[in-house]
Amino acid sequence: MNLTAAPNAFTLGGMAFNCVVVTPEQQVLDQQVSQVVFPAFDGQIGILTDRAPLLAKLGVGELKLTPTSGPEKSYFVDGGIAQMKDNKLTVLTTEATPVEELSAETARAELAEASARKITNEATAAQREHGLRRARAMEELAKR
């Protein structure tokens, strides 16, 4: 391995890469991490240092980050995209709420609201399904 080719790839915690999480309102995170796991629309994806370039559509669920120093961080994310390129993971999402700020009560209220939604066409059926998936994922994370 040629260590001079990527001088910033090594930190005291071992291999690392930069992770940036952005919502329409704010930049939520910009940190060196050793691993990230996120919900793609079709399943979980894990990212490590020197990952081949990737562009993925995000689903609903937990974005889990392992910083090079400090405890793991988890966020509830809802849709968007993730791009890994040149040891930088950029996550653009409509929502990134720290898991510790989630409330099972709020999730149950969202679940009840989504369940009560009337289906009148394909669009409302998709909205209802998304609402149910979102509320279930939020409730699951809030229980931890």
Assign 144 a pLDDT band (cuts: 50, 70, 90): confident
* CB neighbours of residue 135 within 10 Å: 21
Per DSSP, helices labelled H in the chain are 104-116, 122-142
92 and 111 inside one domain: no
| Distance (Å, whole) CA 22 – CA 20 | 7
Q: Are residues 94 and 107 in the same domain?
A: no
> How high does pLDDT run on average in the chain?
88
Q: Classify the phi-psi angles of 61: left when phi > 0, otherwise alpha if psi is within -120 to 50, otherwise beta.
A: left
Query: What is the pTM (predicted TM-score) of this model?
Result: 0.81
Q: Give the pLDDT confidence score for residue 75 in this predicted structure.
A: 96
Domain hosting residue 88, numbered range = 3-99
Across 12-26, 72-86, 98-112, least confident range:
12-26
- 39 and 7 share a domain? yes
Residue 70: which CATH number? 2.60.15.10
Model confidence over 16-64: pLDDT tens digits? 999 999 999 999 999 999 999 999 999 999 999 999 999 999 999 999 9
> Which residues make Cβ contacts (< 8 Å) with residue 123, sequence separation at least 6?
none
Tell me: do 70 and 135 sit in the same domain.
no
107-126 pLDDT, tens digit each: 899 999 999 988 999 998 99
- How many folded domains does the chain comprise? 2
